[in-house]
Amino acid sequence: MTRTASAYAAGANRWRFAQFGNTSLAINLATVLQQSASGAFADVANAPKAALIEAASGFVMLANTDDAGLGISGGPNAAQEHRWWCSQIFNPTGTWAPSVSTQATTGLLVETPGAITALRRLQSEIVAYKAKSIYVARYVGSPVVWQFQCVSTDIGCSSHEAVVAAGTTHYFVGDDDIYAFDGSRPVSIGKGIKEWFFGRLNRTYISNIRAIHDRVNSRIYWFYPVSSSALTSCLVYHYDTQRWGHFDLTITDVLESITAAITYDAFSDKFGTSIQYDQIPTDISYNSPYWNAATPVLSYISTANKITGLSGTASGASLTTGWYGSEDVVTVCTRVRPRYKTKPSAATITPAATFDLGGTVRYGATSSINGDRFDVLQAGRYHRFALTFAGGVEIEALVPTLKPQGLE
């Protein structure tokens, strides 16, 4: 970002943005509200500093604010992490001094402890999140203007970037589960995945989580830290089918980038004058949005500080099943058949067996797939299988052949 006045001194504070008509607005906790209708940004007079920003119902709202030393009439003249401000109605670049006539106002969310950590629009309402609570703000007119209701006192979200608005629902990572929120109450969607996910997540840096929404394919990507503060893994949720995915990728941030037009005359500037049709880089498909002007592209900033498309072919995958079997029957497993929707280029299996859940587990030798099956040979009451795949894969079922050897 640039502005017409002196350079910014944002430090480690994160920039966040909102759009109000044709005016772009930006904020961080070290800088007063910034605005630009075109060109460089400029300070908004009589506006506070803030960590969070959102726009809804003709207003711009700021949260986790600091107006110390700014001389805003009617303000607390203090840094208050639980305070919110709203602009004049239909005029976010006017003075933010509280006034019944302009409907600019400010207030506190102190029913629950802690800072306001996220601020997201949900249709005409605004939802304010704390680490362990949720407030819904509805416009009710002057003199109250925005009326906040606390709808949860033990579920919240620690990262503004971990909340994704998809249609009429927010999806977010909480402190101990993953939730969908429609404005009334948060509902858990993490069954079957939350124990594994939170076992991997480095909770010290839960506020570092970054999410991006793939609207075309109905997917949400949450990048999260594992062993340090770095974002090295990604949890993916397909909300139409309520299915989960996961992959490892180290990034610094996510964004939706907009592609520029590539004309015939400018083609050589990209690829050189001697390139032939079949020499176009293989990682750019013919139907890639790279070729279309003004196309939103899911992207991330790599560790080399380059904007990179969030696409490509999978290099491999792995999965480990639960236990097959029963405590009443000893069985011999002789083969395992995978049923693919997308077949990988190669696959291996490592079988395991036990006679008692929680007891000693015996592992078999790793072997490659033999035609359409894995050949294994092991006995036990319970059987489990670890599979690895090369290339892209989608597996719909895994069917072991278990032959009874005795009943108890």
Q: In sequence order, what DSSP letters do the residues of 144-211 get, joined into one string?
A: TEEEEEEEESS---S-GGGEEEETTEEEEE-SSSEEEE-SS-EEE--TTTHHHHHHHS-GGGGGG-EE
pLDDT given for residue 9 in this prediction: 80
CA atoms within 13 A on the CB side of 287: 0
In this structure, are 11 and 142 located in the same domain?
yes
Question: Coil, strand or helix: which one is 19?
Answer: strand
- Residue 174 is assigned to a structural domain of this protein: no
Are 20 and 144 in a shared domain? yes
Instruction: Report how far residue 320's alpha carbon sits from residue 172's, in angstroms, rounded to the nearest whole number.
Output: 26
Within a domain: 177: no
**38 assigned to some structural domain:** yes
Residue 301 placed within a domain:
yes
The pLDDT profile of the chain, 408 residues, written as one tens digit per residue, is 777 677 888 778 899 999 999 999 999 999 999 999 999 999 999 999 999 999 999 999 999 999 999 999 999 999 999 999 999 999 999 999 999 999 999 999 999 999 999 999 999 999 999 999 999 999 999 999 999 999 999 999 999 999 999 999 999 999 999 999 999 999 999 999 999 999 999 999 999 999 999 999 999 999 999 999 999 999 999 999 999 999 999 999 999 998 776 666 666 676 666 666 666 666 666 666 666 777 888 999 999 999 998 987 788 999 999 999 999 999 999 999 999 999 999 999 999 999 999 999 999 999 999 999 999 999 999 999 999 999 999 999 999 999 998 665
Q: What is the pLDDT of residues 179-189, one digit of tens each?
A: 999 999 999 99
Domain shared by 4 and 133, yes or no? yes
Burial 179-198 (b: 16+ CB within 10 A, else e): bbbeeeebeebbeebbeebb
Q: What are the start-end ranges of the H helices in 221-367?
A: 267-271
Residues 255 and 399 in one domain: no
Q: Is residue 176 domain-resident?
A: no
Residues 26 and 148 occupy one common structural domain: yes
Q: How far apart are CA 356 and CA 230, in angstroms?
A: 39
**CATH label of the domain that carries residue 379:** 2.60.120
Structural domain of 346: 316-407
The answer to whether residue 98 sits within a structural domain is: yes
Number of domains in the chain: 3
CA dihedral 240, 242, 246, 252 (to 10 degrees): 60
Give the per-residue pLDDT at 282: 64
**Is residue 45 domain-shared with residue 121, that is, in the same domain?**
yes
Same domain, 264 and 324: no
Cα distance between the two ends of the chain: 72
Same-domain pairing of 271 and 336? no
Q: Which of 312, 337, 355 is the last residue of a domain?
A: 312
Domain stops at, among 312, 345, 371: 312
Same domain, 4 and 124: yes
Pairwise CA distance, residues 108 & 98, whole Å = 14
The answer on 302 and 386 residing in a single domain is: no
Tokens of 98: 């509280």
CA dist list (Å): 380 to 264, 293, 333, 376:
66, 60, 8, 13
| Residue 146 placed within a domain | yes
φ/ψ of residue 199, rounded to 5: -70, -25
Is the same domain home to 242 and 359? Answer: no
Q: Let me know whether 2 and 149 are in one domain.
A: yes
Question: Final residue of a domain: which of 285, 312, 339?
Answer: 312
Alpha-carbon gap, residue 77 to 68, rounded angstroms: 4
Domain contains 342: yes
